[in-house]
Amino acid sequence: MFIGIQDTLALRLHPDDDVAIALAPLAPGQPVDAGGVRIRPGAAIGAGHKVALRPVAPGQPVRRYGQVIGFATCAIAPGDHVHRHNLAVGEMALDYQFGADVRPVPYVPLEERRTFAGYRRLRGRAGTRNTIAIIATVNCAAHTVRRIAERARVELLPQFPNVTDIVALTHKHGCAMRDSGMELDMLQRTLAGFARHPNVAGALFVGLGCEVNQFDSLLAQQTARLGDTDLPLYVGIQAEGGVAAAVEAGVRAVEQLLPLANTFRREPLPVSELALALQCGGSDSFSGMTANPALGYAVDLLVAQGGTAVLSETPEVYGAEHLLTRRAVSREVGEKLVRQIRWWEAYTAREGAEIDNNPAPGNKAGGLTTIFEKSLGAVAKGGSTPLQAVYDYAEPVTASGLVFMDTPGYDPVSVTGQVAGGCTLVAFTTGRGSCFGFKPAPSLKIATTSATYYHMRDDMDVNAGRILEGATVAQVGHEIFERIIAVASGEPSLSEAQGIGEEEFNPWLIGAVM
């Protein structure tokens, strides 16, 4: 439990920390007590920002959460504001200790486990929505896909009340790339993951006809996922004679899919069949203190029910990955995560970038200084249960419990991979106020502060800022868990109620565009 904002002005999160976090704006010279230390800020310090509790010499590590968040670039005195002007990343050797912190999962007995009202699918996990997906094989088909969806929603959907939605999934890729290799394989497994997603009752692919990402190639390469019977439907624009004709053919194809989709009904299903994507975006310094730990508590509750949670955003666990490898159920699982970290180091270096470029201007304005600090807060979303598996981008998630998927930190690309892997809903923490939604998987927004929650009341589903006002992490974690079950059972999340979520579909493009 964190001390309420009414009781203290700054909070020391761990006895080893060199800094405290301002819970409210601090004025120059204002006496502040934190963790048994009294200081006077030398300058104004904003809420969420760090104030030094003891001197730190140049080049020495600075700790928050009991972990290194960076190194002093100049002498830091007690009361100093600690931020970009005096703190930066540096070389750091992490001790991975594979499996050192693995502990048994306190599984809930089968007869006591919770249920949600979901859709039973013949393959894969149960669905939380009953959607028809219209998927572009290439950007050239994007307009056609949108027109098919627009018409089908108006002309057909009202006749099929058990179908949740008709979703247009378009993207900017599919051509000007190699006709084989990692880039095409990643795109095809992403698209196949949506076609066979538990929230999708039927899928239609639409292509131009001359693109690199040929529909026949997708079927051949993704047979294990798509199967060899009951295949998705396909409309080719060139084969149909142009856009107008392809739109007509697409509407008729959707009409074929709807009767079967309409036969699905919600029924009580075990919570163990839920797969939850874990995300944070627009993070601030409070993310690692309120929303992320509370979501982590909800993840522990979900895993205890036999469910699955998928942590991702590899550049945003950088510098904190040792906390995950310590929870890996095997050395093999931990080493796969480390290999992904090393790939990102090489990838960013090759592109002339640094992983520490990751904290965005909004993150820094909210008090986050380095990627180490951001990552240490971000991994709290994963709770405390063992790390069961590590997956590549958009790879089918088959394990239960907490798992990790390699994705970029950019939210639309990351969630696209998680949902392609089978996640049926998204829990998204935000400090600055992200408006993220994602179809066909509903997205819950969890605000880190009451200020953000009330300022963006139509977008924030849960107020984790109550933790700063006296509520416990457990109390807010239970609230998140209950909201997960409610939304999985059909209650719209606030982003979903506003129709947000089609534009966020964004498959990861790694290779050269030619």
The DSSP 8-state label assigned to residue 384 in this structure reads S
Report in angstroms the alpha-carbon separations of 129 from 113, 117, 197, 397: 21, 10, 10, 18
Beta strands across the sheet bearing 165-169: 165-169, 131-136, 200-207, 233-236
Give the Cα separation of 18 and 41 in Å (integer): 14
CA 338 to chain centre: 20
Tallying the residues shown for the chain, one arrives at 514
Contact by Cβ (8 Å): 324, 435: no
User: What is the residue type of 111?
Assistant: E
Three-state secondary structure call for residue 146: helix
Find out whether 19 and 86 touch, Cβ atoms under 8 Å.
Answer: no
**Confidence category of residue 243, pLDDT binned at 50, 70, 90:** very high
Residue-by-residue DSSP string for 47-94: TT-EEESS-B-TT-EEEETTEEEEEESS-B-TT-EESTTTEE------
- 256-278: pLDDT as tens digits: 999 999 999 999 999 999 999 99
pLDDT of residue 3: 43
User: CA–CA separation, 128 vs 423, rounded Å?
Assistant: 10
Sign of the torsion formed by the C-alpha atoms of 83, 365, 352 and 405: positive
Specify the pTM: 0.96
**Cα–Cα distance, 331 to 324 (Å, whole number):** 12
Distance (Å, whole) CA 335 – CA 280: 24
Q: Beta strand 10-11 with 19-22: parallel, antiparallel or unpaired?
A: antiparallel
Cα(3)–Cα(494) distance, rounded to whole angstroms?
30
Q: How confident is the model at residue 329 (pLDDT cuts 50, 70, 90)?
A: very high
Using an 8 Å Cβ cutoff, are 502 and 168 in contact?
A: yes
pLDDT of 6 strictly over 80: no
For the chain, the C-alpha Rg in angstroms (whole number) is 24
Q: What is the pLDDT of residue 357?
A: 66
Which stretches within 126-265 are classed as H helix? Answer: 142-155, 182-195, 215-221, 223-226, 237-240, 243-261
Cβ neighbors of 348 (< 8 A, separation 6 or more) are 315, 354, 355, 357
- Cα gap 62→133, rounded to integer Å: 49
Dist. CA 496–CA 425, nearest whole Å: 11
Nearest Cα residue to 511 out of 192, 215, 212, 181: 181
- CATH (residue range 131-261): 3.40.1400
Instruction: Inform me whether the pLDDT recorded for 443 exceeds 90.
Output: yes
Q: What's the CATH code, domain 10-88?
A: 2.30.130.110
Tokens matching residue 90: 């540096």
Q: Give me 230's structure tokens.
A: 């009951």
> Within 10 Å of residue 397's Cβ, how many Cβ atoms?
24
Res. 64 pLDDT band, cuts 50 70 90: very high
> To the nearest whole percent, how much of the chain has pLDDT over 90?
91
* pLDDT score of 1 more than 80: no
Integer Cα distance of 107 and 388 in angstroms: 15
Q: What is the pLDDT of residues 73-124, one digit of tens each?
A: 999 999 999 999 999 998 888 999 999 999 999 999 999 999 999 999 987 7
Question: DSSP state, 173?
Answer: -
In tens, the pLDDT along 177-216 reads: 999 999 999 999 999 999 999 999 999 999 999 999 999 9
**pLDDT for 228:** 83
Give the span between the Cα atoms of 329 and 100, in whole angstroms: 9
Q: How confident is the model over 121-167, as pLDDT tens digits? A: 987 789 999 999 999 999 999 999 999 999 999 999 999 999 999 99
Q: Say how far apart CA 485 and CA 480 lie, in whole Å.
A: 9
Q: Where do the H-state alpha helices sit in 379-431?
A: 411-420
